[in-house]
Structure 1
Amino acid sequence: MARDEDKRNFALRDDSGEESSVFSGGTPRQAALKAARRLDPAGSESAADRTTIRLREKGTHKVHIYEAWAWEEEAPDDKPDWMPNEITKGNVEKQGVEHLEDI
């Protein structure tokens, strides 16, 4: 398991540059997957709408840009009792990195 010092924080940015949420992860993709699961899920992966998400790495001028989508899926048969029958899954595809001038 990764230590806290290996974790990095990424702020979710909207089109106007406002940062609403912070996701942590060892890599930008890990944080983007967490953010993708918060999207409005579709009924299946093939029906999911793709959305662009932008994550600014805290302490840097880098903005990681991903195409993200989420869908609902039936939970596995061996799920714990507390887990709901439908779970939200997400996926992301990296589009690039942007460098900000004004922070």
Structure 2
Amino acid sequence: MVREDGKRNFALRSSNGEEESVFSGNTPRQAALKAARRLEPGSSGDEADRTELRLREKGTDKVHIYDGWAWEETAPDDKPDWMPNEITEANVSKKGIDHLDE
């Protein structure tokens, strides 16, 4: 279901089918990036553990499947005062789409 502002809601599904959290975004990738930032960060993007993220688009039977990973990085020099010195960066790679039979 698309909201007035164009954003859609995506529920993060665990391996047993429970939906733990909801992330919103204009695209499934945007929601997957938000979910990936909550993963345990590695020391760098190359060394971070890949985790499968399954996001069901609310109002449909589509499940978008991504590999996601996160890492710690030093904040830029021109960061605002409220930003911590270490920030979490994330990336995702799409694996495909499943359709629920429920």
TM-score tier by shorter-chain length is over 0.9
Code of the aligned partner of 1:56? R
Instruction: Confirm whether residue 37 of structure 1 aligns to residue 27 of structure 2.
Output: no
Q: Structure 1 runs of 4+ off > 4 angstroms?
A: none
Instruction: Confirm whether residue 81 of structure 1 aligns to residue 81 of structure 2.
Output: yes
Aligned to 2:9: 9
- 1:1-103 equivalences under 5 Å are 4-102=4-102
Could you state the TM-score of these two structures normalised by the residue count of structure 1?
0.95
Code of the aligned partner of 1:36? A
Between the aligned residues of both structures, percent identity stands at 72
Deviation at 1:4, TM superposition (A): 4.6
Measure, in 1, the Cα distance between the counterparts of 2:78 and 2:36. 24
Measure, in 2, the Cα distance between the counterparts of 1:46 and 1:25. 26
**1:5-55: CA deviations, max 9, x gaps?**
300000000000000000000000000000000000011111100010000
5+ long unaligned stretches in structure 1: none
The number of aligned residues is: 100
